Structure 1
Amino acid sequence: MTVSPASIRNIAFVGHPSAGKTTLVDALAHALGASERKGSVADKTSICDTEPEEQEKGHTLQMKTVHAKHGGLLFNLQDTPGYPDFVADALSGIYGSDLVVGVVSASSGVTFNLRKKLELAAELHRGRAIVITHLDDPNADFDALVEKLQAAIGPQCVPFELPDGSASGFHKVTNVLEGGEVEYRRQLMDRVMDGCEDGALLERYLETEKLTDAELHTHLPAAIEKGTLVPILVCNPVSALGLPEILEFFREYAPSPETLPTFKLKDGGAPIPLEPTGELLGVVFNVRSDPHVGKVCLARILRGTLKASDHIEGPRVTGKGEKAGGLFHLVGGKKREPTDAAVAGEIVAFSKVE
């Protein structure tokens, strides 16, 4: 598979504990073909929560990356811990991604934990979206939760998908662009155009309040990347209700490395432009210890191509560089897929490099 930056989807899932992040990633991994069966946190078969302590507690304790290829796209789904004790792993997942998805349980609502993680994503200029889970909870109220999200995070939080009801009335999901609440559709389109820098298109929209499909595919991801839109999606990952619609959203509208042509390393640092053919440059954003291969580094390639045969230089290794013990993609907590190379925009792992 030839990889272009436009075909890559680097997505981190953040939120409060028990919001449904891992269950959602398990469901997406199965739908994308990364796992033969849909894993479950409850029965200890999750593709992400593979450590004994995670299975015992029923919570993610380390960030896990699920790599998958599907329909001509390359996905890197990053499941992050919810507990503040493990916030470093959550922050690294945010740092390495292009889209940060805040997973919100309709039963617990908007928490300080979620709000702070989404604020950090905004500070790093990462695109943001929200997935509401547990909408089948007896006390769930979709419209009330949307109001709370807008009050806590900002008016840029607008539904892209609508449920047909809450609690026992939740049976179907509808795209607001295809029908449903007119006011939400107007809010969504207005937010898309708030990020538009095409004066002629903006003038035409003000007259007609319409955009073509091609214009939406161009300007909706850009609005997410610029922060003028935080789309709200709906899903029950256990039953898979709304899951195909979320996958379709990620496919069609999630920002790619090409949508974000520069990568911000830190406050005050100069953004690094995406250059697929430039000299190799990457950033390690997560390191974990493996009992079999030692230190495993997870890196995002910012420029050029990293090949399995390359020698890697870093702050501690200069001059000749150091040969990696292997170049591979992570598929959850246990599985690895060897690869010959990783291009600009990709997330890849390697071992035995200091």
Structure 2
Amino acid sequence: MVDRTVAAPRAEEPRDIRNVALVGPSGSGKTSLVEALLAESGEIRRPGNVEEGTTVSDHDGIEIRRHRSARLTLAPVMVDGVKVNLLDTPGHPDFLGAARAGLRGADAALFVISAMDGVDGRTRSLWRECAALGIPRAVAVTGIDHPRADFDAVVARCREAFGPGVHAAYVPAFEGSGDRRSLVGLWGLISERYYDYSGGEAVPRPVPARLREASGPLREILVEEVITESEDETLMERYMEGGELDPDLLIADVQRAVAAGGFHPVLALDTIRGVGVRELLRELPLSCPDPTRRPLPHVERPDGREVEGMSCDPEGPLVAEVLSTENDPYVGRMSLVRVFSGTLAPEVDVHLSGAVSDEEERAGEREHSGSPFVPAGPRALPVGEVFAGDLCLVSKLMSARTGDTLSSTERPLRVRPWTFPDPMMPVAIAAASSADEDRLSRAVARLVSEDPSLRVEVDSETRQMVLWSLGEAHLEAALDRLESHHGVRVDTEEPRVPLRETFTVPGQGVGRNVKQSGGHGEYGVCRIRVEPLESGAGLEFVDRIVGGVVPRRYVPAVEKGIRAQMADGIGDGFPLVDLRVTLYDGQAHAVDSSDMAFQKAGRLAIRDAATTCEPALLEPLDTVTVEVEGSDLGAVLNDLSARRGRVVGTETVDDGRVVVRAEVPELEIVRYAVELRALSHGTGTFTRSYLRHERLPGHLEHRVARPRSGDRDT
């Protein structure tokens, strides 16, 4: 519900905005941290309350958290006059597309790590992606109050996983031991400020001697790192001489290093009691860069020419990008938008530009934009104009898809979209009822427009509609949205692998179509020789008729019949391929012969040849490229071998990961997206592409799903 009685969080200029993506595995506490930050700033009253903490208008009752865990959400908060847009990204590996969208909309990333669970492979991969994009990063360690949590060990694991530059900036203080240990304070190593939380509120006090003794070495390491990277050369001289260093100067250096991406502070948090939340909230505006300090994505004209000199300027040409879209059954279609340049006004016409590949079909598409608003708990607050550097939700963009660019109708522009993960797990879907069937195609098209990490295709050979996803959770969320948001129920089944047939030895066949029962009959006889060809050759038809035994005008009909029968198959219903068919003899009738008679004769000839040419099934073979950590290489190679795969090469890439190239039967990799993730502890990725068909071993034919009755014409 849009609430027009409350003022929305608003910045005065782009320099007063910070866009921060929260990144981390499922269960690390990202959403709880967002709610704690909102509570600390006064945006909501009770952290952890589902209704108060909802960051996008959502009325799904107990399903709220399940839906939120699968999508990117926005939560703006004001801190000392600075608007901080928190982008809560999904933590499950299946929602990598939404996580990348969050990084596209952000200018800094806060990696949220559970003190008990540590760093998983997907989080390491996203850290590398941020490093490649030059996005500043910090680390928040949650659950530090757990009796078995070891903050020093977590920092060490983060440094091992993320590399140099990771240092503790705030360390926790405890009282007691074992299960009776309790978190009582937090020490800022640079600021030298200690906050006592033993009474529930943060109270400044002197640093406890035991804490200084235990964590003093961490501070020395941190200070030396800051001084080494500092632009102030006098700091090193004073430090070497044992002089006193101004904490404010060190803090300023740390903030510059964080914004530049060379230093990654680690903060300890207890979101339930609020320990460290205030400190984090205060650091975000100081350490994260504003949008004017980050380069814009590649902007180009509709003809593909790059636009030079683009910047985060509210007076510049409008360039905004749709980070995510959603069809809410109550609110309607909503688009989460990042404005890179210019100003997005309410209720105006905008130009929609899609990806380069589909720009031609969508050229000139105009859409009427609704009023921009921002979420605030369960409410939506209108914001009026949204200028460069800011984020908002926009309604009524009915044709907009995730990754689309919004620009002015007078000056259409396009942002080159970010890289979407390629879905690799297929499932066949079919409408659950005739009523669902009427709406299925449109609903699936909308689903894919919301989430480009999904792909749908209709297999011309198996006649199945196949939905491709990133994994089981991704698929479950997609099917749930189909029913709850689009009103379409579907049944799922294993996708049928498109097998084919061929003949393994040469042979001959006779097609005799003679029907005379009084009146006009049918008469067509043809004799053929059949030879197998190499994979991918298709059908080679050879005319060797002499003497006019088959009149010239009927030869194309024989070929047409042969091709039709090969498409339908001759036994199991799989297409027949890779044959040379030579027509060398036949018979015709002056009255009863016709094109149709010889088409049927051609069909019968192929069927007859099948009785002696030893048909065999062919299975599709894919080229599979797998990228894994070096430590997982052995397990992956053994697994590929068990899948009848042939490894054709391996290569070590710059970051120590290994790329494996193999040829693997499609029958063996239907669920490889899920199984590779288990093998590689979540770090493995792969791509696949069709290579060729090869003969299916006879002992595996029982695994083949035959086409259902009615799937093919007979």
Q: With the length of structure 1 as denominator, give the TM-score of the two structures.
A: 0.86
How many aligned residue pairs are there?
343
2:278 to 232, 235, 244: 244
* Correspondence for 1:340: 384
- SS for the counterpart of 2:184 is coil
* Correspondence for 1:206: 236
In 2 relative to 1, CA 157–56 (structure 1 residues): closer, same or farther, beyond 3 Å?
closer
The reply on whether 1:86 has 2:86 as its aligned counterpart is: no
* Correspondence for 1:313: 351
1:314 CA displacement: 2.4
* Correspondence for 2:54: 47
**Equivalent AA in structure 2 for residue 87 of structure 1:** L
- SS for the counterpart of 2:45 is coil
- Within 5 Å, which residues of 2 pair with 1:153-168? 153-165=162-174, 168=181
In 2 relative to 1, CA 228–2 (structure 1 residues): closer, same or farther, beyond 3 Å?
closer
In 2 relative to 1, CA 151–215 (structure 1 residues): closer, same or farther, beyond 3 Å?
closer
In 2 relative to 1, CA 329–137 (structure 1 residues): closer, same or farther, beyond 3 Å?
same
* Correspondence for 1:170: 183
1:22 CA displacement: 0.9
The reply on whether 1:35 has 2:35 as its aligned counterpart is: no
In 2 relative to 1, CA 188–257 (structure 1 residues): closer, same or farther, beyond 3 Å?
farther
2:376 to 327, 331, 335: 331
Q: In the TM superposition, what whole-angstrom CA distance separates every residue of 1:99-121 from its partner, at most 9, and x where no partner exists? A: 21111111111211221222222
- Within 5 Å, which residues of 2 pair with 1:31-180? 31-40=40-49, 46-48=53-55, 51-52=60-61, 54-55=63-64, 60-165=69-174, 168-179=181-192, 180=212
- Within 5 Å, which residues of 2 pair with 1:225-236? 225-236=259-270
Deviates more, 1:160-169 or 1:26-35: 160-169
1:18 to 21, 24, 27: 27
Aligned 8 A contact 2:22 2:109 in 1: yes
Aligned 8 A contact 2:11 2:17 in 1: no
- SS for the counterpart of 1:223 is helix
- SS for the counterpart of 1:314 is strand
**Equivalent AA in structure 2 for residue 204 of structure 1:** T
1:69 CA displacement: 2.7
Gaps of 5+ in 2: 1-9, 193-211, 240-244, 300-305, 355-361, 400-714
The reply on whether 1:289 has 2:324 as its aligned counterpart is: no
Aligned 8 A contact 2:11 2:82 in 1: no
2:337 to 286, 299, 320: 299
1:178 CA displacement: 2.8
1:293 CA displacement: 4.3
1:264 CA displacement: 3.9
Between the aligned partners of 1:187 and 1:272, the Cα distance in structure 2 is 41
CA RMSD of aligned residues (A): 2.9
Between the aligned partners of 1:131 and 1:271, the Cα distance in structure 2 is 36
In 2 relative to 1, CA 70–153 (structure 1 residues): closer, same or farther, beyond 3 Å?
closer
Aligned 8 A contact 2:151 2:268 in 1: no
Aligned 8 A contact 2:113 2:141 in 1: yes
**Equivalent AA in structure 1 for residue 263 of structure 2:** L
Between the aligned partners of 1:162 and 1:141, the Cα distance in structure 2 is 11
| Percent identical residues | 28
In 2 relative to 1, CA 224–265 (structure 1 residues): closer, same or farther, beyond 3 Å?
farther
Deviates more, 1:133-142 or 1:285-294: 285-294
Structure with the larger RCO, 1 or 2 (CA within 8 Å, 6+ apart)? 1
Between the aligned partners of 1:304 and 1:34, the Cα distance in structure 2 is 28
**Equivalent AA in structure 2 for residue 295 of structure 1:** R
Between the aligned partners of 1:3 and 1:65, the Cα distance in structure 2 is 19
1:5 CA displacement: 2.1
Between the aligned partners of 2:323 and 2:226, the Cα distance in structure 1 is 31
- SS for the counterpart of 2:219 is helix
Between the aligned partners of 1:61 and 1:14, the Cα distance in structure 2 is 13
Aligned 8 A contact 2:72 2:90 in 1: yes
* Correspondence for 1:261: 294
Between the aligned partners of 2:32 and 2:328, the Cα distance in structure 1 is 24
In 2 relative to 1, CA 309–192 (structure 1 residues): closer, same or farther, beyond 3 Å?
farther
Q: In the TM superposition, what whole-angstrom CA distance separates every residue of 1:307-334 from its partner, at most 9, and x where no partner exists? A: 21443222167669432122111335x4
Aligned 8 A contact 2:170 2:186 in 1: yes
Gaps of 5+ in 1: none
- SS for the counterpart of 1:273 is coil
* Correspondence for 2:618: none
Aligned 8 A contact 1:106 1:141 in 2: yes
1:79 CA displacement: 1.4
* Correspondence for 2:540: none
Between the aligned partners of 2:216 and 2:389, the Cα distance in structure 1 is 37
- SS for the counterpart of 2:128 is helix
1:220 CA displacement: 3.1
Aligned 8 A contact 1:65 1:331 in 2: no
**Equivalent AA in structure 2 for residue 339 of structure 1:** V
Aligned 8 A contact 1:205 1:211 in 2: no
